[in-house]
Amino acid sequence: MEQIQVRNAAAMKQPPKITSESITVGGKTYATDTFTNVTPTILEKTTRQLHLIPSHPIAIIKDLISTSFPDFKHYDKFSPVVTTKENFDDLCFSDDHPGRAVTDTYYLNEKIMLRTHTSAHQLQAMTESDKLLVTADVYRRDEIDASHYPVFHQMEGAQLFDTKTAVEDIRKSIAADLASSGASGSINTTDTTVITPENPKQDCHDEAAMLAVADHLKHSLNMMVRRLFAHEKDLQVRWIEAQFPFTSPSWEMEILYQGKWLEVLGSGVIKQDILKNAGKPDKIGWAFGLGLERLALVLFGIPDIRLFWSQDERFLRQFEPSQIQKFKPFSKYPACIKDISFWSNENFHENNFCEIVRDVAGDIAEDVQLLDEFVHPKTKKRSVCYRINYRSMDRNVTNVEINEIQEKLREEVVKRLKVELR
Ligand code: PHE
């Protein structure tokens, strides 16, 4: 699967093509039919692979989460184009499940679609690994607001245990984990969920084994968020009951953010039919799927989900691999660029120059860079050229107004720095 993965990632970079008869994406061509509802804008997103850009917030969260699952096999290059069998049928979705509707899902044709969740790869990955992570871009037709976008990223995790020894294996594993854990942070977790007929144990499961698996699932995810939010004070986390076609019982984890409970992941005990289909009938296991944007919005303080798709350097340059830094807002208005050159003198210091720029332009001065400098061969005088980026945070600036500021700057520089303009 390793090779398929790498080939997929490279193929996905090719620009998709869409005609009335066919759609080419990831180097493969699919015939269209009456189900076809993907658009060029959506298909273009398949080339971006934000989770594979190391200094992108989505990839940073992905990497930080995976440190909580050190010996898990991590698949992050599956193609987003999947069959309806992989996305729905294999996961026990009923034929009339609303998720299948053309109003909710992007179809290339009746049988081929853009995955709506990373669970679409559970079965395939479970045939080869007992501990796995899958990270990928997922696609859903959805409402438009600051926290919804038709493309987002999920991370799936699953762990399988031998049914016979699960209780004992899990007891040891949790004890060892607690003994060695360096997790810090003051996190307040509540779990009032109970097993009910609406959210039942599967008949084929031994009760003790199922409860042990549920404990291990919640323990693993509680530890993961504690590590992730190590610097956050008093994070509130709660577990609530949920329903998924492919797990039972099922739960969701929510975190309290700005006074509202935010759903961050779905999880549960894997339906035994799926394990049978993966060739693992003697295993019992848990799975979870979490939304990376949700966590990144909270952790980086990013105000709008569209920013993740920004190709503006002022967004991308802010972040570094493996580090959570609070997002610094930048202006959406265009810049006006002006250069100034002068012969400097021995007393010249860049900070003094910048001080004058601030005095004259105020917050409209966004950036000052030394563009060029040289020493005259005869006079030994040093010439400098500075480039100033003028931009307002809240309005368009006019050329006339910037010219006036620049003129004033030229006067002040001569007056205060005693330099000679060129
Ligand atoms: N696939 C589910 C979703 O997208 C999340 C999930 C994954 C739930 C694994 C249970 C187990 O909402």
In this structure, the answer to whether residues 356 and 279 fall within a common structural domain is: no
How far is the C-alpha of 287 from the C-alpha of 272, rounded, in Å? 12
| Domain, as residue range, for 416 | 336-421
| pLDDT for the residue 1 | 74
| pLDDT for the residue 232 | 78
Q: What is the mean pLDDT of the chain?
A: 93
Strands (E), 140-234: 151-162, 187-191
Tens-place pLDDT, residues 3-59: 777 778 889 999 999 999 999 999 999 999 999 999 999 999 999 999 999 999 999
Rounded to 5 degrees, what are φ and ψ at 402? -70, -35
pLDDT at residue 184 tops 60: no
Q: Which CATH number covers residue 356?
A: 3.30.70.380
In this structure, the answer to whether residues 55 and 165 fall within a common structural domain is: yes
Mean pLDDT to the nearest integer, 350-367: 92
Give residue 364's pLDDT band: very low, low, confident or very high (50, 70, 90): very high
pLDDT at residue 186 tops 90: no
Q: Which residue has the higher pLDDT, 202 or 41?
A: 202
CA 288 to ligand 1: nearest atom: 9
Are the CB atoms for 85 and 100 separated by under 8 Å?
no
In this structure, the answer to whether residues 311 and 341 fall within a common structural domain is: no
In this structure, the answer to whether residues 75 and 213 fall within a common structural domain is: yes
User: In this structure, is residue 322 part of a structural domain?
Assistant: no
Provide the whole-model pTM. 0.85
Say how many C-beta atoms besides its own lie within 10 A of residue 316's C-beta. Answer: 13
In this structure, the answer to whether residues 196 and 303 fall within a common structural domain is: yes
Q: How far, in Å, is the centroid of ligand 1 from the Cα of 352?
A: 57
Q: Which of 288, 316, 344 is the endpoint of a domain?
A: 316
Tens-place pLDDT, residues 1-10: 777 777 788 8
User: In this structure, is residue 321 part of a structural domain?
Assistant: no
User: In this structure, is residue 326 part of a structural domain?
Assistant: no
| pLDDT for the residue 242 | 97
In this structure, the answer to whether residues 312 and 394 fall within a common structural domain is: no
pLDDT at residue 335 tops 80: yes
| pLDDT for the residue 233 | 76
Strand order in the sheet with 17-18: 17-18, 22-25, 28-31
The protein residue with its alpha carbon nearest to ligand 1, atom 9, reads 288
| pLDDT for the residue 145 | 74
Mean pLDDT to the nearest integer, 308-321: 93
Tens-place pLDDT, residues 263-311: 999 999 999 999 999 999 999 999 999 999 999 999 999 988 889 999 9
User: In this structure, is residue 330 part of a structural domain?
Assistant: no
User: In this structure, is residue 9 part of a structural domain?
Assistant: yes
List, chain by chain if needed, residues with CB within 6 Å of any ligand 1 atom.
117, 119, 156, 244, 247, 250, 266-268, 287-289
Give residue 240's pLDDT band: very low, low, confident or very high (50, 70, 90): very high
Q: How far, in Å, is the centroid of ligand 1 from the Cα of 384?
A: 59
User: In this structure, is residue 367 part of a structural domain?
Assistant: yes
In this structure, the answer to whether residues 275 and 392 fall within a common structural domain is: no
| pLDDT for the residue 9 | 83
| pLDDT for the residue 183 | 56
| pLDDT for the residue 147 | 73
Q: How far, in Å, is the centroid of ligand 1 from the Cα of 62?
A: 16
Q: Which CATH number covers residue 49?
A: 3.30.930.10
Peptide bond into 249 cis (omega under 30): yes
CB crowding 117-149: b at 16 or more within 10 Å, else e: bbbbbbbbbbeebebbbbbbbbbbeeeeeeeeb
| pLDDT for the residue 400 | 94
| pLDDT for the residue 412 | 96
Strand order in the sheet with 365-375: 365-375, 382-390, 336-343, 420-421
| pLDDT for the residue 4 | 74
In this structure, the answer to whether residues 292 and 395 fall within a common structural domain is: no
pLDDT at residue 381 tops 60: yes
User: In this structure, is residue 344 part of a structural domain?
Assistant: yes
Number of domains, the chain: 2
pLDDT at residue 73 tops 70: yes
